[in-house]
């Protein structure tokens, strides 16, 4: 048997490799692997069922030295809800499975579930099942979310067309810079008794990392304004990576303007303090859970009625590839996605 | 904060504790935590959606020194399908999430997915999504299965009534004795070069452990004979534990006859060889994935038309408790469930 390291394929290559021999057999399986959610049709009527799942592992996705368990529970839910909104759907139910090592007490796990309950209440979602198990090391959280979409209104990654406008909600890079700050303070605190981390003036980026929200409000506004995105996804792995997904799925290219990328003041300040490239952080940081979507050019005016939506650029013919136009307008940087987190 | 060890509650106590403050809000959430599957109603018509999820962890649920990855993939699917059949439903889709540590290659994970594909083909189920991630240690598999039931025919744990007959398919304890044999051979092989485990004459119990099947055939037969179980579940944690679930959910007691418990010859031989109590193995071993169900007394003749279904005993009034009548007919042993696997 050959021995190929998993990192050679990357996460998306691995999924492609593993699922290449699977085909869909049921008429209720409308769409399988390859978008924010799978689409199932159980109603035979005007709605369809959306399914998404996320696996969160201690030491890979979170560090409990600075992530409170309540926040972790909240975030673990929100990242799944975000995938359902990214299909223009509404999350309805979740199942939560947890693997728990011996260092956790019932009170610890109850805190995790407090956060899960808060997220469920906030977003109107029901916890309907799950599994609990001992684990050898660390905490494991696996959440599956089931949502509801309206047939014909569910938005995939694959519908972007040449000349469509590229839009994004909120701002980017803040969660990533929040993580950098949390890591810095964790290191500063090692071995120091009664260490108090210094987050003054950086509350926004900390909150973006520890307690992200899913953009249900944006979904409500686009519905109200009768806007029909041609493609959509949430920004979980970073803008570059998501643009690549939309362009590949839709068979198009894109142009993004560097000076249009929305960045919060605290994000910029933190990047300067840490001497990091701000645009790189915004393009590749990830965990923003903002919505990236495309709309036909004709809906340009309507889109601009929603506050906090930024026009990033536009969709092009596939042959033009994916590029970012630099701030001075003189050069184009080809966009590439960052890889799969195989190691911390 | 208090510090209560999780083992003090047990798995089912823990789930109860963690989910006590959650309530169902959506009309599409018909039933939540507490059965083999959750029941959702997305059709508004004559079908309902069933959801179940399982978390499998290396070092807790499986040992790769004797479990081939292909078998593991197959079994991980089948145990979920079994939960859907146990509701009298049909599994339709699964999502598969895997956490993979550095010692695994792409070829290893491809073997796991070969087993998953085989199970999907065998049972007519579509893989529609999932997540892949690095893990710090070991292999993690989280599967969620979505199935379809017919309204009014979905069978819960809670419908057993006094005088109903208690039935079980197949035989019990074989998977557990297979595990004992695999463990014995693993120990015997430690440090021995070119060690060949000896499974001669024990193929059935090995297969029951490594490649269990879900009893889709039983579900088909009860439908054909127009039998309506009043309660049903699959035997995953052991007969004692499942009887307890049915009796508690239904508010009834039961009498099980020791001499009616179906046990295969190889299971008995292995128990003798290892000097273990055979009835204990059959009652508490688990991983049988047989169907335990109750039917009204009036369906007694119909049930006996299905080969391989054993009448174990009957349901009683709750005040009579749960007990096993010993082989000599002279004494009753009160039934209790075994605990949560917190350590291996």
**Closest residue, chain A, to B28 (C-alpha):** A92
Residue B116 has a pLDDT of 94
When CB atoms are compared, the residue of B61, B97, B146 closest to A142 is: B97
- B27 in contact with chain A, both atoms CB, cutoff 8 A: no
B73 burial type by CB count under 10 A (0-12 exposed, 13-18 middle, 19+ buried): buried
How many CB atoms within 10 Å of residue B20? 11
Beta carbons of A128 and B42 less than 8 Å apart: no
Residue A278 has a pLDDT of 93
Beta carbons of A341 and B134 less than 8 Å apart: yes
CB A84 within 8 Å of CB A179: no
Residues of A with Cβ-Cβ distance to B52 under 8 angstroms: 95, 129
Q: What percent of chain A has pLDDT over 90?
A: 70
Residue A343 has a pLDDT of 30
pLDDT digits (tens, 9 = 90+) for A146-156: 999 998 899 99
How far are the Cα atoms of B7, B113, B235, B335, B343 from residue B339, in angstroms, in the given order?
A: 9, 32, 15, 13, 11
Beta carbons of B93 and A40 less than 8 Å apart: yes
pLDDT at A341 over 50: no
Beta bridge partners of residue B31, listed in sequence order: B39
CB B100 within 8 Å of CB B109: yes
Residue B308: phi and psi, rounded to 5, are: 85, 10
Q: Give the A window 109-128 contacts with B, CB below 8 Å.
A: 109-110, 113, 117, 120, 124, 126-128
Q: How far is CA A137 from the centre of its chain?
A: 26
HEC string of chain B equals CCCCEHHHCHHHHHHHHHHCCCCCCCCCEEECCCCCCEEECCCCCCEEEEEEEEEEEECCCECCCCCCHHHHHHHHHHHHHHHHHCCCCEEEEEEEEEEECCCCEHHHHHHHHHHHHHHHHHHCCEEEEEEEEECCCCCEEEEEEEEEEECCCCCCCCCCCCCCEEEEECCCCHHHHHHHHHHHHHHHHCCCCCCCCCCCCCHHHHHHHHCCCCCHHHHHHHHHCCCCCCEEEECCCCHHHHHHHHHHHHCCEEEEEHHHCCCCHHHHHHHHHCCCCHHHHHHHCCCCCCEEEEECHHHHHHHCCCCCEEEEEEEECHHHCEEEECCCCCCEEECCCCCCCCCC
**Closest residue, chain A, to B340 (C-alpha):** A133
Residue B2 has a pLDDT of 66
- DSSP E strands in chain A: the ranges are 29-31, 38-40, 47-57, 90-100, 126-134, 140-150, 165-169, 231-234, 253-257, 291-295, 309-316, 322-325, 332-334
Residue B338: phi and psi, rounded to 5, are: -80, 160
Average pLDDT rounded to a whole number, residues A114-136: 92
Beta carbons of B136 and A29 less than 8 Å apart: no
CB B62 within 8 Å of CB A141: no
Beta carbons of A4 and B131 less than 8 Å apart: no
Q: Is A12 helix (H, G, I), strand (E, B) or coil?
A: helix
Beta carbons of B53 and A97 less than 8 Å apart: yes
| Residue ranges of domains in chain A, CATH in brackets | 27-150 (3.30.1330.10), 165-189+198-334 (3.90.650.10)
What's the rounded Cα separation, in Å, for the pair B94 and A30?
13
Residue B1 has a pLDDT of 55
Residues of B with Cβ-Cβ distance to A45 under 8 angstroms: 43-45
When CB atoms are compared, the residue of A6, A29, A126 closest to B100 is: A6
**Closest residue, chain A, to B43 (C-alpha):** A43
**Residues A207, A213, A215, A216, CA torsion sign:** negative
Residues of A with Cβ-Cβ distance to B95 under 8 angstroms: 38, 51-53, 144
Beta carbons of A126 and B25 less than 8 Å apart: yes
What's the rounded Cα separation, in Å, for the pair B165 and A106?
39
Tokens 């184009």, residue located: A332
Beta carbons of B144 and A53 less than 8 Å apart: yes
Residue A338 has a pLDDT of 56
On average, the pLDDT of chain A sits at: 90
CB B341 within 8 Å of CB B236: no
CB A205 within 8 Å of CB A270: yes
Beta carbons of A105 and B144 less than 8 Å apart: no
Residues of B with Cβ-Cβ distance to A129 under 8 angstroms: 32-33, 37-38, 51-53
Residues of B with Cβ-Cβ distance to A14 under 8 angstroms: 106, 109, 132
Residue B272 has a pLDDT of 96
User: Closest Cα of chain A to B114: distance in Å?
Assistant: 9
A&B contacts, CB < 8 Å: 269
How many CB atoms within 10 Å of residue B205? 27
**Closest residue, chain B, to A8 (C-alpha):** B106
When CB atoms are compared, the residue of A3, A132, A135 closest to B105 is: A3
Give this complex's ipTM. Answer: 0.89
Q: Give the A window 141-200 contacts with B, CB below 8 Å.
A: 142, 144, 146, 148
CB B180 within 8 Å of CB B275: no
pLDDT at A117 over 60: yes
A29-31 and B332-334 beta bridge pairing: unpaired
B4 CB-side CA count, 13 A: 13
Residues of A with Cβ-Cβ distance to B138 under 8 angstroms: 136
What's the rounded Cα separation, in Å, for the pair B103 and B27?
46
Provide the token pair at A251: 């068979």
What's the rounded Cα separation, in Å, for the pair A321 and A329?
17
Q: Which of A293, A314, A288 is nearest to A87 (CA)?
A: A293
What's the rounded Cα separation, in Å, for the pair B178 and B211?
11
pLDDT digits (tens, 9 = 90+) for A62-89: 999 889 999 999 999 999 999 999 999 9
Residue B72 has a pLDDT of 97
Beta carbons of A128 and B38 less than 8 Å apart: yes
B165-169 and B38-40 beta bridge pairing: unpaired
**Residues B150, B155, B161, B163, CA torsion sign:** positive
- B64 in contact with chain A, both atoms CB, cutoff 8 A: no
- A12 in contact with chain B, both atoms CB, cutoff 8 A: no
pLDDT category at A2 given cuts 50, 70, 90 is: low
Average pLDDT rounded to a whole number, residues A244-263: 95
When CB atoms are compared, the residue of A22, A45, A127 closest to B117 is: A22
Tokens 């000097």, residue located: B275
pLDDT digits (tens, 9 = 90+) for A203-228: 999 999 999 999 999 999 999 999 99
**Closest residue, chain A, to B110 (C-alpha):** A18
Residue A42 has a pLDDT of 81
pLDDT digits (tens, 9 = 90+) for A4-37: 787 777 777 777 777 877 877 877 788 878 777 8
Q: pTM, whole model, 2 decimals?
A: 0.91
CB A256 within 8 Å of CB A335: yes
What's the rounded Cα separation, in Å, for the pair B324 and A207?
57
Provide the token pair at B8: 């003090």
What's the rounded Cα separation, in Å, for the pair B128 and B92?
10
Residues of A with Cβ-Cβ distance to B1 under 8 angstroms: 107
Residues of A with Cβ-Cβ distance to B40 under 8 angstroms: 92-93, 128, 146
Average pLDDT rounded to a whole number, residues A285-303: 95
Ordered strands of the A291-295 beta sheet: A231-234, A291-295, A165-169, A309-316, A253-257, A322-325, A332-334
Residue B294: phi and psi, rounded to 5, are: -120, 145
What's the rounded Cα separation, in Å, for the pair B47 and A27?
15
Residues of A with Cβ-Cβ distance to B104 under 8 angstroms: 6
Residue A253 has a pLDDT of 96
Per-residue confidence of chain B (344 residues) as pLDDT tens digits?
A: 567 787 777 777 777 877 877 877 877 788 878 777 888 888 767 889 999 999 999 999 999 988 999 999 999 999 999 999 999 999 999 999 999 999 999 899 999 999 999 999 999 999 888 899 999 989 999 999 999 999 889 999 999 999 999 999 999 999 999 999 999 999 988 888 888 888 889 999 999 999 999 999 999 999 999 999 999 999 999 999 999 999 999 999 999 999 999 999 999 999 999 999 999 999 999 999 999 999 999 999 999 999 999 999 999 999 999 999 999 888 899 987 653 333 32
User: Closest Cα of chain A to B280: distance in Å?
Assistant: 23
């Amino acid at each position: 048997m050959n021995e190929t390291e998993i990192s050679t394929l990357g996460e998306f290559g691995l999924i492609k490799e593993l699922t290449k021999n699977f085909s869909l057999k049921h008429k209720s399986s409308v769409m399988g692997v390859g978008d924010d959610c799978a689409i199932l049709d159980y109603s035979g009527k005007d709605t369809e069922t959306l399914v998404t799942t996320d696996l969160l592992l201690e030491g890979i996705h979170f560090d409990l030295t600075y992530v409170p368990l309540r926040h972790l529970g909240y975030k673990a839910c929100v990242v799944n809800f975000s995938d359902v909104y990214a299909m223009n759907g509404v999350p309805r139910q979740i199942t939560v499975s947890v693997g728990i090592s011996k260092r956790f007490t019932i009170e610890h796990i109850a805190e995790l579930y407090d956060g899960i309950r808060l997220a469920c209440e906030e977003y109107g979602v029901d916890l309907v099942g799950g599994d609990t198990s001992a684990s050898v090391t660390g905490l494991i959280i696996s959440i599956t979310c089931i949502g509801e979409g309206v047939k014909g209104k569910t938005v995939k990654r694959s519908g972007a067309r040449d000349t469509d406008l590229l839009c994004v909600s909120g701002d980017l890079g803040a969660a990533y810079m929040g993580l950098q700050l949390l890591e810095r303070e964790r290191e500063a605190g090692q071995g120091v008794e009664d260490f108090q981390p210094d987050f003054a003036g950086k509350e926004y980026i900390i909150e973006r990392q520890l307690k992200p929200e899913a953009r249900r409000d944006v979904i409500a506004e686009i519905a109200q304004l009768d806007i029909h995105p041609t493609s959509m996804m949430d920004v979980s792995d970073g803008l570059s990576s998501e643009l690549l997904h939309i362009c590949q799925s839709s068979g198009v290219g894109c142009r993004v303007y560097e000076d249009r990328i929305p960045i919060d003041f605290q994000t910029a300040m933190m990047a300067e303090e840490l001497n990091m490239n701000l645009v790189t952080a915004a393009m590749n940081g990830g965990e923003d859970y903002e919505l990236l979507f495309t709309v036909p050019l004709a809906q340009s005016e309507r889109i601009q009625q929603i506050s906090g939506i930024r026009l990033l650029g536009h969709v092009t013919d596939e042959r033009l590839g994916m590029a970012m136009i630099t701030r001075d307008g003189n050069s184009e940087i080809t966009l590439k996605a960052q890889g799969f987190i195989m190691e911390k």
